[in-house]
């Protein structure tokens, strides 16, 4: 490789000078292609941003590209959307729903993931079968025979407890940790549209439709499988000796979880938290079903702009900018953790 | 249930309560997750199955549900809604018959290999039969509805987003990851930049692309004016509308493929790559013999994750095109939503279940026949 001077110009251009370097031509091509994709990423975002500083005149009279050069930016749309239009309500809804559901999902999910990694479970298959049987009977009784659902629920619960005691110690076949884990994670395969109709009816019966509580509960459930899937790998990666020595000292599993396991997986939990936060922030379909006016979230508000007053791009752009700005900030913090977290998950499944 | 009863007995003595919690903390820690999933996934799933088999009607002070058996599915598959779900069938040309024969041939070949090379088991054969009939059915549907005179329904539209979308996103993501995986400066800058679209709210993306694609006022208007097609609108043609949905979807999801594949490429065995380079291997050989085997398990898994999510698409078609023109861009989820809005709860649940069935069979098949072998080849 040191004999570079004798080589022809062409060879020097297309051959790498060293093993861990690129040839000049290769480098130019690489940077050119990366530059093109950077444009693909940035142009849409740029266009939304500058459109939010335009007015009807600037949008309708053909495309203008650079503020202060070919059009005079104004804050009129921002002023209208943020101060005079009711944007703050949905924005607050989005913040509350996303934060609360994420806290809940990560807490519940991490607890479940940890115990599934560290504690051996054996759930009797017969108990599971009994449970599902009673559930189906309950639903048929309520829907077809008009039994009050509170009565039916009590009866079913009582039957279930009695059944558990009679079954105790008789059946051998059991469901283990991997099965429970698979069952929780596999819920992500289910398209939400299948579940959302009954959830809608359920919240209607509980008079919780169009409240933040309904959205928080549903988002928690939807994101729970992801939390379990991601955090289980973080917990599994902790050397077990640390925890065992703590347990010998007499600490309970819960205490070991709180004082030893949690601090060790802190960065993984933060990444999971941010990822789930963004998923909850962006969620559209469930909010479309479960919220109407009071609990409306940002994605629903944005999609509703079209039908109420036609495409007023300048106002819409303001909404989109305030909706995606926090997400972009989080994303730039998050990308490193996500790659690692997903990679661990992807390899182990 | 039993937990509360036990704790009530144990409560008087503080040590008894702590001891109980200590012994039972496993179930206590898992229970919240199990209850949440039961309430929001399993119960709804069972109730949805019931809804799909019944007819919903508003009545005084509430609603009534009447059990109608498989009538909702019959209406969707052979009845008045067939055009909506499956599409209108066209007449097949010789070329399309050949295409169908090719698919059938490939499936038969798969069976042949299973019988001659593997050890056939009953479960394996049944699984392969289910996969093969699903693939064959969907292929027939796609080919027959895109033939002359045919109009694809929501199943084929969804399939288009899933198959073409995921394939394009994977190809783009892999190329970008390979580019970024080279010894270049500013890799972290590109990594952050390319990651951003993944996190942007899909509804926002839909409107942004509507703005960008505006033929008169968008940023590309000078180009369309130059070409003299300002009067033409992509939203009125079936295939250009579908293409727009795919473009938006690709803009959003390519980063997902990119970010994970780049991490996998950075994890590939460095010393092997350098040794191969020293021996004079070119880029293609290094990719084929070292990089690809190293990243194949990850690649297969993220394609699976992406498949699962792609079947659920609704935001983009709903906001970008409203499912139109006609039903050209309507996905299954959107179809189900539209049925719900017109108070056809039974039909809506039936469409939802169709989607659940198709996506489960495809995803499980993909896991068994692609992800598993890819992981197996590594160890």
Confidence tier at B183 by pLDDT (50, 70, 90): confident
Residue B87 has pLDDT above 50, yes or no: yes
Q: How confident is the model at residue B6 (pLDDT cuts 50, 70, 90)?
A: very low
Q: Is A30 close to B184, i.e. CB distance below 8 A?
A: yes
Task: Please report residues of A whose CB lies closer than 8 A to that of B208.
Answer: 44-45, 47-48, 320
pLDDT at res. A306: 67
Quick: pLDDT tens for A14-39. 766 666 667 778 888 889 999 999 99
Say how far apart CA B246 and CA B244 lie, in whole Å.
5
Tell me if A252 and B21 make a contact (CB, 8 A cut-off).
yes
Predicted local confidence at residue B355, as pLDDT: 93
Pick the residue from chain B with its C-alpha nearest to A57.
B217
pLDDT > 70 in chain A, percent: 87
A180-223, pLDDT tens digit by residue? 888 888 888 888 888 888 898 888 888 888 889 999 999 999 99
Decide which of A68 and B355 is more confident: B355
Residues of chain B with C-beta less than 8 angstroms from the C-beta of A289: 340
Q: Under an 8 A CB cutoff, do A347 and B37 touch? A: no
Residues of B in contact with A201 (CB under 8 A): 47
Q: How far is A37 from chain B (nearest CA, A)?
A: 8
Tell me what pLDDT residue B307 has.
92
Q: How far apart are CA A89 and CA A79, in angstroms?
A: 16
Q: State yes or no: pLDDT of A244 exceeds 90.
A: no
What's the pLDDT at B236?
A: 79
Q: How many CB atoms lie within 10 A of CB B193?
A: 18
Residue A343, pLDDT above cutoff 80: no
Tens of pLDDT, residues B240-266: 889 999 999 999 999 989 988 888 888
Band the pLDDT of B5: cuts 50, 70, 90: very low
- Whether residue B22 contacts residue B326, with contact meaning beta carbons closer than 8 Å, is answered with no
Residue B129 in tokens: 């039969």
Look at residue B233 and tell me whether its pLDDT is greater than 80: no
Q: What is the mean pLDDT of residues B71-98?
A: 84
| pLDDT at A341 exceeding the cut of 70 | no
* pTM, two decimal places: 0.85
Among A41, A112, A221, the residue with its CB nearest the CB of B29 is A112
Q: Of A231, A239, A236, A235, nearest to A269 (Cα)?
A: A231
Q: Which of the four pLDDT bands, split at 50, 70 and 90, describes residue A2? A: very low
Confidence bin at A98 (pLDDT 50/70/90): very high
CB contact under 8 A, B209 and A44: yes
Backbone angles phi, psi at B67, to 5 degrees: -70, 125
DSSP string for residues in A50-94: HHTT--HHHHHSS---SBTTTB---SHHHIIIIIISTTHHHHHHH
Q: Residue A170: is its pLDDT beyond 70?
A: no
Q: What is the pLDDT of residue A5?
A: 52
Residue B163 confidence (pLDDT): 94
Is the peptide bond prior to B325 cis by the omega test (within 30 degrees of 0)?
Answer: yes
> Which chain B residues touch A327 with a CB distance below 8 Å?
199-201
From the list B21, B274, B311, the residue facing A19 with the nearest CB is B274
Contact (Cβ atoms closer than 8 angstroms) between residue A160 and residue B10: no
* ipTM for the whole predicted complex goes beyond 0.95: no
pLDDT of residue B264: 85
A139:B39 CB<8 A? no
Q: What is the pLDDT of residue B3?
A: 41
CA–CA min distance B148, chain A (Å): 32
Given a cut of 60, whether residue B2 has pLDDT beyond it is no
With beta carbons under 8 A apart, name residues in chain B contacting A342: 259-260, 263, 302
- Give the separation between CA A346 and CA B131, rounded to whole angstroms: 23
Task: Return the ∠ at Cα A14 (arms to A13 and A18), rounded to 5°.
Answer: 90
**pLDDT computed for residue B4 by the predictor:** 41
**Integer Cα distance of B25 and B17 in angstroms:** 11
Q: What is the spatial distance between Cα A208 and Cα A279, in angstroms, rounded to a whole number? A: 23
> Which of chain B's residues have a Cβ under 8 Å away from the Cβ of A324?
199-201, 204
Question: Cβ distance A17 to A4 under 8 Å?
Answer: yes
Q: Which residue did the predictor score with more confidence, A210 or B67?
A: A210
């Amino acid at each position: 490789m040191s004999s570079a001077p004798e080589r022809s110009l062409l060879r020097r251009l297309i051959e790498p000078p060293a093993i861990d370097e690129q040839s000049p031509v290769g480098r130019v091509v690489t940077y050119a292609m990366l530059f093109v994709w950077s444009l693909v990423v940035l142009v849409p975002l740029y266009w939304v941003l500058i459109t939010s500083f335009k007015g009807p005149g600037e949008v309708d009279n053909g495309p203008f590209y650079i503020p202060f050069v070919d059009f005079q930016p104004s804050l009129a749309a921002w002023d209208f959307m943020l101060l005079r239009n009711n944007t703050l309500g949905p924005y607050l809804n989005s913040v509350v729903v996303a934060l609360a559901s994420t806290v809940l999902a990560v807490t519940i999910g991490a607890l479940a993931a940890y115990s599934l990694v560290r504690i051996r479970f054996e759930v009797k298959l017969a108990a599971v079968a009994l449970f599902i049987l009673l559930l189906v009977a309950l639903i048929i009784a309520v829907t077809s025979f008009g039994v009050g659902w509170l009565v039916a629920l009590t009866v079913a619960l009582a039957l279930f407890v009695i059944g558990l005691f009679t079954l105790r110690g008789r059946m051998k076949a059991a469901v283990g940790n991997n099965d429970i884990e698979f069952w929780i994670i596999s819920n992500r395969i289910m398209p939400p549209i299948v579940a959302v109709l009954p959830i809608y009816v359920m919240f209607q019966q509980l008079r919780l439709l169009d409240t933040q509580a309904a959205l928080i509960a549903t988002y928690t459930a939807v994101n729970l499988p992801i939390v379990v899937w991601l955090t289980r790998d973080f917990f599994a990666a902790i050397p077990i000796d640390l925890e065992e020595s703590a347990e010998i000292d007499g600490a309970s599993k819960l205490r070991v979880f709180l004082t030893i396991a949690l601090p060790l997986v802190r960065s993984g939990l933060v990444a999971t938290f941010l990822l789930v936060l963004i998923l909850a922030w962006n969620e559209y379909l469930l909010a479309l079903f479960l919220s109407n006016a009071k609990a409306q979230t940002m994605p629903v508000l944005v999609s509703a702009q079209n039908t109420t007053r036609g495409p007023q791009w300048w106002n819409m752009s303001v909404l989109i900018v305030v909706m995606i700005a926090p997400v972009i900030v989080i994303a730039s913090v998050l990308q490193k953790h996500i790659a690692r977290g997903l990679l661990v998950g992807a390899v182990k499944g | 249930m039993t937990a509360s009863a036990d704790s009530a007995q144990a409560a008087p003595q503080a040590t008894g309560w702590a001891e109980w919690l200590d012994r039972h903390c496993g179930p206590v820690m898992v229970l919240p997750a199990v209850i949440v999933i039961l309430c929001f996934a399993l119960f709804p799933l069972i109730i949805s199955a019931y809804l799909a088999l019944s007819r919903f009607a508003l009545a005084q002070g509430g609603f009534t549900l009447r059990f109608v058996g498989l009538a909702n599915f019959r209406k969707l598959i052979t009845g008045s809604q067939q055009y909506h779900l499956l599409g209108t069938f066209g007449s097949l040309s010789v070329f399309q018959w050949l295409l169908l024969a090719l698919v059938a041939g490939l499936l038969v070949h798969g069976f042949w290999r299973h019988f001659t090379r593997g050890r056939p088991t009953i479960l394996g054969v049944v699984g392969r039969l289910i996969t093969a009939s699903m693939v064959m059915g969907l292929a027939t549907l796609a080919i027959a509805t895109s033939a002359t005179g045919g109009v694809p329904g929501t199943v084929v539209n969804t399939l288009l987003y899933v198959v073409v979308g995921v394939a394009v996103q994977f190809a783009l993501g892999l190329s970008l990851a390979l580019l970024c995986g080279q010894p270049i400066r500013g890799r972290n800058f590109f990594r952050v930049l390319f990651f951003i679209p993944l996190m942007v709210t899909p509804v926002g993306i839909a409107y942004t692309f509507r703005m960008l694609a505006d033929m008169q006022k968008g940023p590309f208007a000078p180009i369309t004016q130059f070409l003299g097609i300002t009067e033409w609108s992509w939203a009125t043609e079936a295939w250009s509308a579908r293409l727009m949905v795919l473009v938006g979807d690709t803009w959003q999801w390519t980063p997902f493929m990119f970010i994970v594949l780049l991490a996998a490429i950075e994890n590939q065995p460095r010393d092997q790559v350098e040794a191969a380079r020293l021996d004079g291997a070119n880029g293609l050989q290094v990719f084929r013999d070292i990089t690809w085997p190293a990243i194949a398990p990850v690649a297969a898994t993220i394609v699976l994750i992406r498949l699962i999510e792609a079947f659920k698409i609704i935001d983009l078609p709903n906001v970008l095109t409203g499912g139109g023109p006609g039903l050209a861009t309507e996905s299954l989820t959107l179809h189900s939503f539209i049925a719900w809005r017109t108070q056809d709860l039974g039909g809506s649940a039936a469409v939802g279940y169709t989607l659940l069935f198709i996506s489960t069979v495809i995803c499980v098949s993909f896991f068994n026949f692609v992800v598993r072998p890819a992981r197996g080849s590594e160890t």
